[in-house]
Structure 1
């Protein structure tokens, strides 16, 4: 099967139209993610997903599902309620939904939903103006700082949940920088794409800081390669557990594994670390203790185990301070309130 951006977009349109035909509750559908961006190659390791959002009149019965196309391609369908968009102007300050609705591709519309929402979101070309852009980044930074405070309460052994919370705080902080010049970073591409966003923000050193905060400043690529079989074993066990995060799904095995292999063979193999550790830790959340030895060893090597975790949390604190200083500097340049003047 020959797959191109155009063929995947065609599949997206057909999927949206078929779903809407069979479900009158669906009032609109749009395509988001890497397929929409002409600047990003949607294929990573020869795999890709098709990100479709279906808008329902009422609250949807479920929020996310995956549909297999081939072993290397699948449709990732998100379900949202119309009520989430009832105040379009407020979406300008939403660091997640605002960007999602800013420039997607309309796939289907039963009523004038899309035009109404985008008119409010884009009115006056204010979405990318300094004030709303900085406010979105401050929201992300605030959430990152809130999670960091919770990490200070950890006293016993570091659990998968603790590592995920650490990565979540770091992800929010990284996106507080990234969203100054574009949409949030896709989780599979965090360490691939952050360097250019940090450069645009005149903070190129933040890329190295991200690598350091993941414990990989001196990590050999051979170590990352050695972790792949253990990661896959954990993934395949966890995907059978109905309590695992939705992203750990049989349909997505190649989506991750082939991307990991491609990144390991690239000029910057450390980029694999973010999606590798995130998905491995999602899996670890539901694995029995007897299956966690390899995951714990990897965390130990990265300073994300009991020994070293305090140091990582301290480093995260410093990184959050650096992000705050950046946002304050930009605010001052544009005559806006800084964190010390609010």
Structure 2
């Protein structure tokens, strides 16, 4: 099947219409994410990011539904209360960008129109941009503080928290000139975001904190079958992160393979390590020796974890110093931002 943007939009509309007809709690639905871009495919695969807004608290916040081996729906179910008050969403780095310019697919009671209009006013003002950036940075710092209590013998939980801190730190930078970065493309797109603020060293530093200077693309390719085994096994267990789903296996695997064969092969490290660590968190220890090996190769676990946290500390300090200079340049006080 030839996958085109037009096909993906049609599938989004058809699935939304069917769901809205059968679920009267849906107030609005919109399309966000990669399908709104000119080229939504990576490795010939993509997901269709839908958001359904309900008039009550949804039973399940996220839903994955396969449409084909290479396409799946990734549906977020939100309560209308998540958008109240709409003006405050200007300072929300995730929901704010999501609501700013999606494709509206369904609406009742003018819910979407009112919320979006309230959000857009002042969204791109420097003060609101800095508020969103600081929110991401402060979340990363909180994770770092929590990890200080677990610096020896880190397991999958500690490593995934470390990666979460890195993701928030990277997005604190990316926020200064656009929306948060998609997980598959994080290391592909981050260098341009860092370059846009004339701080390319942030890109080098991020790769270093992931252990990218310790490994080669060939090793990642060699370990891909072991990654596949862990992902497949973990996806069949209960209480696993919703990102680890069999419908998303090709979505990640083909993207990793495509990046490994591209101009920036080490950019595959982010989706590779993040999803493998999420998978390992659902397994018992004797089931993830290959994951432990990749952490050892990257010098990100075991005896190296404490030094990685020290590096993260410095990275966050550097971001904070940059943001402080921006505050001063605009004449803002920190108390106005956080």
Q: TM-score, normalising length from structure 1?
A: 0.96
Instruction: Give me the whole-angstrom Cα distance separating, in 2, the residues matched to 1:155 and 1:170.
Output: 16
Q: Kindly indicate whether the alpha-carbon contact (under 8 Å) linking 2:40 and 2:46 is maintained by their aligned counterparts in 1.
A: yes
Structure 1 counterpart of 2:8: 8
Structure 2: 5+ residue stretches without partners:
none
Q: How does 1:207-246 map to 2 (within 5 A)?
A: 207-246=203-242
Q: Kindly indicate whether the alpha-carbon contact (under 8 Å) linking 1:160 and 1:281 is maintained by their aligned counterparts in 2.
A: yes
Structure 1 counterpart of 2:324: 328
Instruction: Give me the whole-angstrom Cα distance separating, in 2, the residues matched to 1:340 and 1:152.
Output: 29
Structure 2 counterpart of 1:257: 253
Pairing 1:28–2:5 present: no
The Cα shift of 1:156 comes to: 3.7
SS at match of 2:36: coil
Which is worse superposed, 51-60 or 153-162? 153-162
Instruction: Give me the whole-angstrom Cα distance separating, in 1, the residues matched to 2:221 and 2:3.
Output: 28
The Cα shift of 1:339 comes to: 7.9
The Cα shift of 1:341 comes to: 10
Structure 2 counterpart of 1:104: 102
Q: How does 1:244-323 map to 2 (within 5 A)?
A: 244-323=240-319
Structure 1 counterpart of 2:200: 204
Instruction: Give me the whole-angstrom Cα distance separating, in 1, the residues matched to 2:173 and 2:138.
Output: 13
Q: Kindly indicate whether the alpha-carbon contact (under 8 Å) linking 2:151 and 2:306 is maintained by their aligned counterparts in 1.
A: no
SS at match of 2:42: coil
Pick closer, same or farther for the CA change 1:44–1:341 going to 2, 3 Å: closer
Pairing 1:175–2:171 present: yes
Q: Kindly indicate whether the alpha-carbon contact (under 8 Å) linking 2:152 and 2:305 is maintained by their aligned counterparts in 1.
A: no
Q: Which has the higher helix share?
A: 2
Instruction: Give me the whole-angstrom Cα distance separating, in 2, the residues matched to 1:195 and 1:305.
Output: 25
SS at match of 1:34: helix
SS at match of 1:29: strand
Instruction: Give me the whole-angstrom Cα distance separating, in 2, the residues matched to 1:305 and 1:319.
Output: 18
The Cα shift of 1:37 comes to: 3.0
Structure 1: 5+ residue stretches without partners:
none
Structure 2 counterpart of 1:62: 60
The Cα shift of 1:329 comes to: 1.5
Structure 2 counterpart of 1:81: 79
Structure 1 counterpart of 2:43: 45
The Cα shift of 1:242 comes to: 1.2
Moved over 3 A (4+): 338-342
Q: Kindly indicate whether the alpha-carbon contact (under 8 Å) linking 1:328 and 1:339 is maintained by their aligned counterparts in 2.
A: no
Instruction: Give me the whole-angstrom Cα distance separating, in 1, the residues matched to 2:328 and 2:13.
Output: 45
Pairing 1:128–2:124 present: yes
Q: TM-score, normalising length from structure 2?
A: 0.97
Which is worse superposed, 260-269 or 327-336? 327-336
State the aligned residue count: 338
Q: Kindly indicate whether the alpha-carbon contact (under 8 Å) linking 2:131 and 2:337 is maintained by their aligned counterparts in 1.
A: no
Q: Kindly indicate whether the alpha-carbon contact (under 8 Å) linking 1:300 and 1:307 is maintained by their aligned counterparts in 2.
A: no
Q: Kindly indicate whether the alpha-carbon contact (under 8 Å) linking 1:327 and 1:338 is maintained by their aligned counterparts in 2.
A: no
Which is worse superposed, 146-155 or 188-197? 146-155
Instruction: Give me the whole-angstrom Cα distance separating, in 2, the residues matched to 1:202 and 1:290.
Output: 45
SS at match of 1:217: helix
SS at match of 1:107: strand
SS at match of 1:35: helix
Pick closer, same or farther for the CA change 1:339–1:321 going to 2, 3 Å: farther
The Cα shift of 1:235 comes to: 0.5
Instruction: Give me the whole-angstrom Cα distance separating, in 2, the residues matched to 1:63 and 1:291.
Output: 29
Q: Kindly indicate whether the alpha-carbon contact (under 8 Å) linking 1:332 and 1:338 is maintained by their aligned counterparts in 2.
A: no
1:268-321: CA deviations, max 9, x gaps?
111111111111011101112211111111101111111211111000001001
Q: Kindly indicate whether the alpha-carbon contact (under 8 Å) linking 2:144 and 2:309 is maintained by their aligned counterparts in 1.
A: yes
Which is worse superposed, 19-28 or 332-341? 332-341
